[in-house]
Structure 1
Amino acid sequence: MEDLELLTKFRRDLHRIPELSFDLPETTRYVRSVLADLSCEVTEPCESCVCAYFNVDEACGRAAGGPATAIRADMDALPINEDSGVSFCSTKPGHMHACGHDGHMAMALAAACWVNDVLAQVHAGAACPLPRNVLFVFQPAEETTGGARTVCESGVFERYHADRIFGFHVWPDLPAGVVATRPGPLLARASETHVTIHGTSSHIAKSADGHDALLAGAHFLTGVEALMAELSAEEPCLLKFGLMQSGAVCNAISAQTQIAGSLRVFSDEMFDRARAGVERCAREACEPYGCTYDLDFADGYPPVTNDAALYGLAKGALGDALELVPEPLLIAEDFAFYQRHLPGLFMLLGTGTGIPLHSDEFRMDESVLVRGLETYRTLLQTA
């Protein structure tokens, strides 16, 4: 098949069968069915993860055990009812590939087919253009608990001597087919933030007898807004709250306020500073009203920080085909766990649609995936 035909088939087949988190039986079955016809070693190093290793050293007559380049694709979808209007829409109500992971898998599968074709040509007497072994990683649970961390803990990178990893995310805000990234911080560390303020209820006519958890919550929010304005003047960071619930009736002082949001930063140092500042805001908001509080920060995902040397290598190989993202972006991605385990480069692939990720109307033209496949081919031929 031609590249676009193959990419379209893979992407649309996978788009029809979206599954969530680690519960990916149909998706992993499909991935395995493609890989089964290729000259690679297929393993499942951890739950719902499929890996394919191409022993290029053996095919090319080199000494065994050389380094491998890893390519990562995430497999899980989102709990969303699809309203995209495409003819190949989800067959599973309440499940949708609304974040482009079907496209990520399609590019990785097509790249695996290309590696297989290259090795077949080598066996037929052609020169070997691949300087390294290749490991494809199809991981679960990017959208939930961070399946990348489980993959790293499995030992699969050590087993196959992988010392670099590349990955893509389709990106609606970039023009179609543009490949872009940056050295250093690219995406943020994300930490869900939950605050519960405890007060004492009383009738509003006797408000002096109560401890107003709603008023304390309001002061907390304005205090955090001022804190983030101060911190973000030094380094990009963000803490916004999307949920606030308080009280039971209109004529009684609220006994409890629950506030939930998300903190986004690009360094562990700023995370520690922001967390300490939020703690101070909670204390200063509660004490005047006689309230107490509980504050919880989820560990979340680390920041996606691209290895500078690997970026330089990719830029040298891709030239003007690799554009620069001017500023880090305040979204999160579990590719960050790989980068804490081995050098990694995460890239954005423009779809040009402007339809936001996680939208029930998300769609893309598969022709942009050709550029991603071409990028993988170039990187796999780079020593």
Structure 2
Amino acid sequence: MQAINPELLAAAAGWRRAFHAAPELGFAEHQTAERVAQLLQGFGLEVHRGLGGTGVVGTLRTGDGPVIGLRADMDALPIQELGEQAHRSGHAGCMHACGHDGHTAMLLATAQHLSELRHFRGTVHFIFQPAEESLGGAQKMIEDGLFERFPMDAVYGLHNWPGLPAGQVVVNPGAMMASLDTFEITLTGQGCHAAMPERGADPIVAAAQLVLGLQTVVSRRLSPLDSAVVSITQLNAGEAINVIPETAVLRGTVRCLQTPVREKVQRLIGEFVEQLPQAFGVRGQLAYQVGYPVTENHPQAAEAVFKAAVAAVGEGQVHWGRPPSMASEDFAFMLGACRGAYFWLGVDGVEPSRALHNPYYDFNDGVIEAGVRVWAQLVEQSLPLA
């Protein structure tokens, strides 16, 4: 493959730091999307705005041939940045703590690199997606006609990955990331004086037992070979220290790697909520929100990523069939609508990277070249050379 211009890599690092300094939350990436569109136009690509609200698609056509899509997410997180780097967030309570600024910069650099070469026959759609962080921007783009307006033979996505050495790649022939569902449980009892609990029905005691009981869904109701996580993340009840409240509300999340397991966990949570509180004279009500599916690669597309990555960064730098993550990713929606694959790109340098969603996280600009090389190689092997 052609070498990546060092001046382009320097420009990409500059774009990345500018995005980091001006983060925007999901469906509010107006300045980010405008800058992306301006750059794509400057590269000579067709530019389409407004898919899924603030999404952008840049199209590079070089004659008849196969069509593939490459996707980057653009949104930031509602986190106050604590880092002290010169390009730290200028927006209070908002930062790029997941590296989407790096994803966007890498894909822009790939678009410029390929637009200058144009040495293949076919079409590449560069997809810049809004609202990946729990808001389902991928699904919104699909609902807006992403794959009808831009038919593709395959679509690909990546995520930077702390804990993996810089420039290394992980891709699996199946699951990469878990599904994501959320739930809210309302427990209704009978309020009373805290000194006379026998005169009421305590929803807090029922909530405490339910928190413990729900952990047995994974430990005792599923096979040890199944993968699932049930986490209670909020418990809200009461206003006065001497009053047993009328209600308690629990919220949490479910992650699974297999769709049948996901369906079973939902059913079991429903049974616990209906039956366990009754022993305390309390009524349980469940509101369950089905969210992101399992991010599951199509084997043939995963093999294409593996082959491209080996050519781009070296065989010893590419890993096949590593354990998937129990975190979630809305690229799963795109994989449900189009053949494709998702992979991880390592970012750990001499010092390990901060974790994703950490207030000190900052994308490692040193891996931009590896990301562009993998993207470009994937395009070159997917589309016939002119």
Structure 1-normalised TM-score?
A: 0.91
**Aligned with 2:61 (options 43, 55, 64):** 55
Please, which runs of 5 or more residues in structure 2 have no aligned partner?
Answer: none
Residue of structure 2 equivalent to 1:330: 326
The amino acid that maps onto 1:56 is: T
3-state SS in 2 of match to 1:162:
coil
3-state SS in 2 of match to 1:326:
coil
Contact 2:306 2:320 in 1 (8 A): no
Identical amino acids, percent of aligned pairs:
29
Per the TM alignment, residue 254 of structure 1 is displaced from its structure 2 partner at its CA by: 3.2
Please say if 1:94 is aligned against 2:90.
no
Q: Separation in 1 of the partners of 2:40 and 2:318?
A: 29
Please, which runs of 5 or more residues in structure 1 have no aligned partner?
Answer: 58-63, 120-127
Per the TM alignment, residue 217 of structure 1 is displaced from its structure 2 partner at its CA by: 0.9
Residue of structure 1 equivalent to 2:225: 234
Per the TM alignment, residue 344 of structure 1 is displaced from its structure 2 partner at its CA by: 1.8
Residue of structure 1 equivalent to 2:340: 344
Contact 1:240 1:263 in 2 (8 A): yes
Per the TM alignment, residue 364 of structure 1 is displaced from its structure 2 partner at its CA by: 3.1
Please say if 1:179 is aligned against 2:184.
no
Residue of structure 2 equivalent to 1:123: none
Are residues 160 and 255 of structure 1, via their aligned partners in 2, closer, same or farther at CA, if it must alter by over 3 Å?
closer
3-state SS in 2 of match to 1:234:
coil
> Matches of residues 85-234 of structure 1 in structure 2 within 5 Å?
85-119=84-118, 128=119, 130-230=120-220, 231=222, 233-234=224-225
Per the TM alignment, residue 20 of structure 1 is displaced from its structure 2 partner at its CA by: 1.0
3-state SS in 2 of match to 1:114:
helix
The amino acid that maps onto 2:130 is: P
Per the TM alignment, residue 175 of structure 1 is displaced from its structure 2 partner at its CA by: 1.2
Are residues 146 and 284 of structure 1, via their aligned partners in 2, closer, same or farther at CA, if it must alter by over 3 Å?
same
Are residues 30 and 227 of structure 1, via their aligned partners in 2, closer, same or farther at CA, if it must alter by over 3 Å?
same
Residue of structure 2 equivalent to 1:33: 38
Q: Separation in 2 of the partners of 1:253 and 1:317?
A: 61
1:130-181 Cα offsets, whole Å, 9 max, x none, are 2431000111111141110111122232333312111111111111111112
Per the TM alignment, residue 40 of structure 1 is displaced from its structure 2 partner at its CA by: 1.6
Per the TM alignment, residue 35 of structure 1 is displaced from its structure 2 partner at its CA by: 0.9
Residue of structure 1 equivalent to 2:47: 42
Residue of structure 1 equivalent to 2:292: 301
The amino acid that maps onto 2:116 is: D
Q: Separation in 2 of the partners of 1:273 and 1:314?
A: 32
The amino acid that maps onto 2:326 is: L
Contact 1:195 1:293 in 2 (8 A): yes
3-state SS in 1 of match to 2:28:
coil
Please say if 1:6 is aligned against 2:23.
no
In the TM superposition, structure 1's runs of 4+ consecutive aligned residues that sit over 6 Å from their partners are: none
1:96-129 Cα offsets, whole Å, 9 max, x none, are 111100000011000000111112xxxxxxxx3x
Contact 1:44 1:51 in 2 (8 A): yes
Q: Separation in 1 of the partners of 2:272 and 2:92?
A: 43
Contact 2:173 2:299 in 1 (8 A): yes
3-state SS in 1 of match to 2:286:
strand
Contact 1:67 1:160 in 2 (8 A): no
Q: Separation in 2 of the partners of 1:232 and 1:31?
A: 46
Instruction: State the aligned residue count.
Output: 367
Q: Separation in 2 of the partners of 1:160 and 1:144?
A: 24
Per the TM alignment, residue 209 of structure 1 is displaced from its structure 2 partner at its CA by: 2.2
The amino acid that maps onto 1:226 is: T
Per the TM alignment, residue 45 of structure 1 is displaced from its structure 2 partner at its CA by: 5.0
Contact 2:191 2:245 in 1 (8 A): yes
Structure 2-normalised TM-score?
A: 0.91
Per the TM alignment, residue 71 of structure 1 is displaced from its structure 2 partner at its CA by: 0.6
